[in-house]
Structure 1
Amino acid sequence: MAFFFVACSDDESDFATRPSGGESSSSAKSSSSSEYERVQCNVKTDENCIKDDRDGQTYKTVKIGDQVWMAENLNFKTDSSFCYKNTAEYCEKYGRLYRWAAAVGKSESECGYGYTCSLPSGNIQGVCPNGWHLPSKAEWETLFNAVGGQSTAGKVLKSTSGWNSGGNGMDAFGFSALPAGIRNSIGGFSSEGGSADFWSSTEGDSYYAYGMYLYYLNDIAYLDYYDKDVGFSVRCIQD
């Protein structure tokens, strides 16, 4: 996945040479990679379940610290959003992959690659349902602190199945991060089983925005900025 990452921080990891989670390890894929199946929750019987009134889909939720998160990836169809490998079954399993402009609820000509978006301060609803918003960089950092720190957040946030080469997590807080992979800027897909990549609402500049990244080979939760025109998963947080 090095083709779209740019080293923009002095973190010890080198984002310019980040290894590909899905492609390099496909032959060593975990036997549990197909075990996860998304099940619709019931808003009438489960208080930790919400319904998106736009399309009727439901999502499990979880409270971690003082935050309430969706415990599943968003699957609301909009412009500049995609199913992995352009196949509907992946959307059912992992939710959709969104370019950053779509994630913040704007067009490519407003906030896409090469355009400075200059979003207002405060919560950015973006593609999320009413009452929910796209997490900011600071809100991702708050999550890391709540689960014991960024250096081990990956282990406790990753799902217990689906990750390559024994990279499954503990899912200790019910966040259930799935290795949905990414869509690159030219329309290719990679890293299913190897990485979970999520947008934030925080813009870097006209070309980059912040995202959170989990990798199958370690326990770290990375937070850096990435090309706006790649497709990442979206997790919404309650207002």
Structure 2
Amino acid sequence: MKKESIVLIVTIIATMTLTAWVGNDNTSKVPGNLTEVQIGGQTWMAENLNVESFRNGDPIPEVKSAEEWEKVGKRKKPAWCYYDYTSANGTKYGKLYNWYAVNDPRGLAPDGWHIPDSLEWTQLSNFLGGLKGSCTKLKSTSGWKENGNGTNESGFNGQPAGYSPYNGNCSESGETTRMWMSKEHSKSNAWFCQLEGNKSDVFYYQYYKVQGLSVRCVKD
């Protein structure tokens, strides 16, 4: 995978006051029983997306095996799965969607929300001090392996959901989370934001659209 280099002009603030955007005081429920959090001038979902249908009500096909996931990817059809195809993982991690679900014109994000682009992810990271170092503030305080837990100072509550690659063999639960962006990179690849358990920085990558990744939405 090729890491995207991003040049940022970051205002350095000597002391950051976190009470304006931290914790339960700034969270509320999104329709569909999801939690939202206000971070700076943005409102984000504080949980991974967990919907089974598009905005117009059409169902998104669920995939229940690695073999089926690979077949769906070859057909370039929208789909979702649970990590390891186990519904109990949906409680912790939400659902994993391929790019074809994310980019479907029927709309994956609930009404009033959208899939963030790189500029919106960068705005979020900049508010927390920049791409370098903000990962720790975005990660949840538990569930990450090898001392990878974050502080969740932001209230974003990033969970180590792992992902489903092109062959459907889910991996990296407890180690990483990959969250789709709204822009494609090429006919086969699209951009996503990655948080890693053993890193304090936020990374942007592009990789196959047939992956199953988490989704976080930002309010319109």
TM-score, reference length from structure 1: 0.71
- Shift of the alpha carbon at 1:10? 5.0
1:64 corresponds to 2:47: no
- Shift of the alpha carbon at 1:134? 0.5
Superposition map of 1:121-140 within 5 A: 126-140=107-121
**What number of residue pairs does the alignment pair up?**
178
Tell me the C-alpha RMSD between the 2 structures.
1.8
CA contact (8 A) 1:154 1:214 kept: yes
- Shift of the alpha carbon at 1:137? 1.3
2:92 aligns to what? 93
- What's the secondary structure of 1:209's corresponding residue? strand
Superposition map of 1:1-239 within 5 A: 6-7=1-2, 9=4, 48-52=28-32, 58-77=33-52, 78-79=60-61, 80-105=79-104, 126-239=107-220
State the identity as a percent.
36
CA contact (8 A) 2:161 2:214 kept: yes
Give, in whole Å, the separation in 2 of the partners of 1:203 and 1:138.
14
- Shift of the alpha carbon at 1:8? 5.4
What is the one-letter code of the residue matched to 1:136?
Answer: D
Instruction: Name the CA shift for 1:9/1:61 in 2 (closer, same or farther; >3 Å).
Output: closer
- What's the secondary structure of 1:201's corresponding residue? strand
CA contact (8 A) 1:104 1:134 kept: no
Give, in whole Å, the separation in 1 of the partners of 2:161 and 2:27.
26
Q: Deviations over 1:54-88 (max 9, x none)?
A: xxxx0110011111000000111223110001010
What is the one-letter code of the residue matched to 2:199?
Answer: N
TM-score, reference length from structure 2: 0.77
- What's the secondary structure of 2:109's corresponding residue? coil
Q: Deviations over 1:24-70 (max 9, x none)?
A: xxxxxxxxxxxxxxxxxxxxxx9711113xxxxx0110011111000
Instruction: Name the CA shift for 1:8/1:164 in 2 (closer, same or farther; >3 Å).
Output: closer
Structure 1 moving runs of 4+ over 3 Å: 8-11
CA contact (8 A) 1:73 1:96 kept: yes
CA contact (8 A) 1:126 1:134 kept: no
Unaligned runs of 5+ in 2: 7-25, 53-59, 62-78
Give, in whole Å, the separation in 1 of the partners of 2:40 and 2:89.
30
1:32 aligns to what? none
- What's the secondary structure of 2:146's corresponding residue? helix
Q: Deviations over 1:138-184 (max 9, x none)?
A: 11111111111001111000000000011000000100000000001
- What's the secondary structure of 1:182's corresponding residue? coil
